Structure formats: structure tokens, C-alpha cells
Amino acid sequence: MKRATVSGRRARTRSFSLVEVVIALGVIAVGIVGILAVFPTALQTGHSAQDETRTAHIAQSVFGSLVAGATSHFNAVPLPPTPLSIDLTAPPSSPTSPTLYADNDGSLIPTAATAAFAIFIFTNNLPPGFTNSGDANQVTVRVLSPPLPNQGPTPGPNQTFRDYVRIISRY
């Protein structure tokens, strides 16, 4: 920045030169572009965090329903909202049918029309420490997002999934 000088009759005022202004604008533009470049990554990370929280909530609600019904109906545990019952003593096989669905709020819904998540439940082998499958079983809940038409338990190329495992006993 130039200082005012008095020489004879003319006095110069303080001011920035055109070169200084252009350099300052260039620095500001580079900074703003750098900050704006971070926004898409931040938004994607935020959405991923929300989805992971929702999938854990969905799995916990499914496990809660299974545990609540296991004490009296271990061979046919009812699950809302569909008339689905799960035999916790069944040998490992394909997942339960029909597929469960959840909306974007994590609430279980009966159809895939407005679903944001597809839920598959697998009964697995006898957990360690138990000798009778009628007493306890290991259950895996797989939550897939987004659900695809005629979705199977295997995730598609653009899907994310999380498996949650819990031992459910009848006692």
C-alpha cells in the first residue's frame, strides 16, 4: 500500500494498486473454491452416518421383537408388521420369507413401496455353550440399503449392508 506523500502542490492519497487487488481476489477465490470442494464429501459422510445409525436402530427393534416372543414361542416367534413368524430352532438356511422392510425413519413396514431398507433374518448354528437348539440360537439380521426389486439377501453393486448378530435364548 502506498503512503501519501506531499511534494509541491500535489498530495497522493493512500490506495491499493490494481495488481495488489487482483492478487488479493485470486487468493480469496482459491480459498473459497477449496472450502466448497469439501462440502460434497461432508454431505456424503453425514448421510452415511445417518444410515448406519438407522440400520443399528432397525436391527435392535427386530432383535427386541424376537427376544420378546422367544420366551413363549421359540418355534414361531411373531414379528410385526407382517404376519411373519420365525422358527429359531430351524437349521441354517436361506433367510426368512417374506422380506421385512423399513422406512427412512427406521419403522418396520409391510411392503417395499416406500421402503428405504430391506431386512433379512438368518438363523445360524447353535451358539457355543448350548447343547440344544431349542434353548438358544444365533440370529443374524442383515439390513440392506437401498432395497432393490426382487431383492435377495446378497447385496447389489450399489448397496450397503450391515450384519448384526445376537444369541437369542428362550429363557
**Which structural domain, as residue segments, surrounds residue 120?**
34-169
The single-letter DSSP state of residue 145 is E
The single-letter DSSP state of residue 126 is P
Does 39 map to a domain? yes
For residue 137, list its beta bridge partners. Answer: 168
The single-letter DSSP state of residue 128 is T
The owner of cell 497522493 is: 12
Overall pTM > 0.75: no
DSSP symbols for 79-100: ETTTTEEE-TTSPS-SPPSSPE
Does 10 map to a domain? no
Does 19 map to a domain? no
Digitized pLDDT (tens) for each residue of the chain, 171 residues in all:
555 555 556 666 788 899 999 999 999 999 999 999 999 999 999 988 988 899 999 999 888 888 887 777 666 777 776 666 777 666 666 676 667 888 888 888 878 888 889 888 887 767 777 777 667 788 888 898 888 877 777 888 888 889 998 888 777
61: region left, alpha or beta (phi > 0 left; psi from -120 to 50 alpha):
alpha
Does 22 map to a domain? no
Does 78 map to a domain? yes
Does 131 map to a domain? yes
Strand locations in the chain, DSSP E?
6-7, 10-11, 77-79, 84-86, 100-102, 108-109, 117-123, 136-145, 160-169
Domain count within the chain: 1
Do residues 128 and 142 touch, judged by C-beta distance below 8 A?
Answer: no
Cell numbers for 17? 494498486
Does 1 map to a domain? no
Does 159 map to a domain? yes
Do residues 89 and 75 touch, judged by C-beta distance below 8 A?
Answer: yes
Q: For residue 98, what pLDDT is reported?
A: 65
